[in-house]
Structure 1
Amino acid sequence: MQDVTSSITEFRGSHYDFGYAQGEWIKGTLMMKNRAREWRIRRPRFDVDIEETRRVFNEFAPYIWDELIGLQDSLDMGLEQVLQNFGGYRVYAKDSGCSVFTAEGFLVRNYDYHPATYDGRLTFFQPDDGGYATMAPVSRVTGRMDGINEHGLTMGYNFMHRKNPGDGFVCYMIGRLILETCRDVEEAVKLLQSIPHRSSFSYIVLDKKGITQIVEVTPRDINIREHHYCTNHFEVLTHENRKVLTDSYDRMTAMTAQVNSGLTAAEAFNAMNSSTAGIFSDKYSSWSGTIHTSCYFPKELKAWIALGGDTEPTELDFGQWLQGGPLPLTELTGQLDTTLKFASE
Structure 2
Amino acid sequence: MELIWRSISEPEPGPKWAGLFAELWPAYKTWWMREGVDARPTYWQSWSAIKTHMPEILPLYEQLCDLAGGGDLAARFLSFYRPPPYLSGCSQAIWPGKEPMLVRNYDYNPEAFERVVLQTRWQGRNVIGSSDGLWGLVDGMNDAGLAVSLTFGGRRVVGDGFGVPLILRYVLQTCTTAEQAGRALARIPTHMSYNVTVLDAKRNYLTAFMAPDRPTSITHAAVATNHQEKVEWDAHARMTASVERERFLLQRLTGHIEPQEKFISAFLRPPLYSIAFDRGFGTLYTAVYRPRLGKMELRWPRGTWPLDLYGGADDVRRIYTPETKPTAANGTGPDSAQQNAQF
Paired position in structure 1 for 2:79: 87
Q: Please give the alpha-carbon distance, in whole angstroms, between the structure 1 residues aligned to 2:225 and 2:199.
A: 16
Q: Please give the alpha-carbon distance, in whole angstroms, between the structure 1 residues aligned to 2:305 and 2:16.
A: 26
Paired position in structure 2 for 1:136: 129
User: Secondary structure of the residue that 2:10 maps to in structure 1?
Assistant: strand
Is structure 2 residue 116 aligned with structure 1 residue 121? Answer: yes
User: Secondary structure of the residue that 2:208 maps to in structure 1?
Assistant: strand
Paired position in structure 2 for 1:252: 246
Shift of 1:302: 0.6
Q: Of the candidates 267, 291, 313, which is equivalent to residue 272 of structure 1? A: 267
Q: What TM-score results when the alignment is normalised by the length of structure 1? A: 0.84
1:1-345 map, 5 Å: 2-13=1-12, 17-18=13-14, 21-27=16-22, 29=23, 31-38=24-31, 46-62=39-55, 64-76=57-69, 78-79=71-72, 81-103=73-95, 104=98, 105-127=100-122, 129=123, 132-219=125-212, 220-235=214-229, 238=230, 241-244=232-235, 245-246=237-238, 247-258=241-252, 262-274=257-269, 277-306=270-299, 309-318=300-309, 321=310, 327=312, 330-336=315-321, 337=323, 338-339=325-326, 340=328, 343=332
Please list the CA deviations of residues 232-271 of structure 1 after superposition, one character each: whole Å capped at 9, or x if unmatched: 1112xx3x72123221012223333456671222222211
5+ residue gaps in structure 1?
A: none
Shift of 1:186: 0.3
Q: Please give the alpha-carbon distance, in whole angstroms, between the structure 1 residues aligned to 2:194 and 2:206.
A: 14
Whether the aligned pair in 2 keeps the contact of 1:231 and 1:251 (CA below 8 Å) is: yes
Please list the CA deviations of residues 148-190 of structure 1 after superposition, one character each: whole Å capped at 9, or x if unmatched: 1001100001101353322111111111111111101000010
Q: Please give the alpha-carbon distance, in whole angstroms, between the structure 2 residues aligned to 1:171 and 1:44.
A: 21
Please list the CA deviations of residues 285-342 of structure 1 after superposition, one character each: whole Å capped at 9, or x if unmatched: 3222111110100211111112xx4133222222xx2xxxx60551233123255577
User: Secondary structure of the residue that 1:267 maps to in structure 2?
Assistant: helix
RMSD of aligned C-alpha atoms?
A: 2.5
> Aligned AA for 1:160?
G
> Aligned AA for 2:332?
A
5+ residue gaps in structure 2?
A: 334-343
Q: Quick one: structure 1 residues 60 and 134, their matched pair in 2 at CA, closer, same or farther if it must change by over 3 Å?
A: farther
Q: Quick one: structure 1 residues 282 and 45, their matched pair in 2 at CA, closer, same or farther if it must change by over 3 Å?
A: farther
Whether the aligned pair in 2 keeps the contact of 1:94 and 1:162 (CA below 8 Å) is: no
> Aligned AA for 2:164?
C
Q: Please give the alpha-carbon distance, in whole angstroms, between the structure 1 residues aligned to 2:206 and 2:273.
A: 23
Q: Please give the alpha-carbon distance, in whole angstroms, between the structure 2 residues aligned to 1:289 and 1:42.
A: 26
Shift of 1:78: 2.1
Q: Please give the alpha-carbon distance, in whole angstroms, between the structure 1 residues aligned to 2:11 and 2:56.
A: 14
Q: Please give the alpha-carbon distance, in whole angstroms, between the structure 2 residues aligned to 1:213 and 1:200.
A: 16
Shift of 1:147: 0.7
Q: Please give the alpha-carbon distance, in whole angstroms, between the structure 2 residues aligned to 1:43 and 1:299.
A: 45
Whether the aligned pair in 2 keeps the contact of 1:258 and 1:271 (CA below 8 Å) is: no
Q: Please give the alpha-carbon distance, in whole angstroms, between the structure 1 residues aligned to 2:277 and 2:180.
A: 34
Q: Please give the alpha-carbon distance, in whole angstroms, between the structure 2 residues aligned to 1:42 and 1:292.
A: 30
Please list the CA deviations of residues 214-236 of structure 1 after superposition, one character each: whole Å capped at 9, or x if unmatched: 1111122221111211101112x
Compare 201-210 and 95-104 and name the one that shifted more: 95-104
Q: Quick one: structure 1 residues 281 and 43, their matched pair in 2 at CA, closer, same or farther if it must change by over 3 Å?
A: farther
Q: How many residue pairs were aligned?
A: 321
Amino-acid identity (%): 21
> Aligned AA for 2:91?
S
Q: Please give the alpha-carbon distance, in whole angstroms, between the structure 2 residues aligned to 1:281 and 1:254.
A: 14
Q: Quick one: structure 1 residues 228 and 98, their matched pair in 2 at CA, closer, same or farther if it must change by over 3 Å?
A: same
Compare 147-156 and 93-102 and name the one that shifted more: 93-102
Q: Quick one: structure 1 residues 191 and 77, their matched pair in 2 at CA, closer, same or farther if it must change by over 3 Å?
A: same
Whether the aligned pair in 1 keeps the contact of 2:65 and 2:75 (CA below 8 Å) is: no
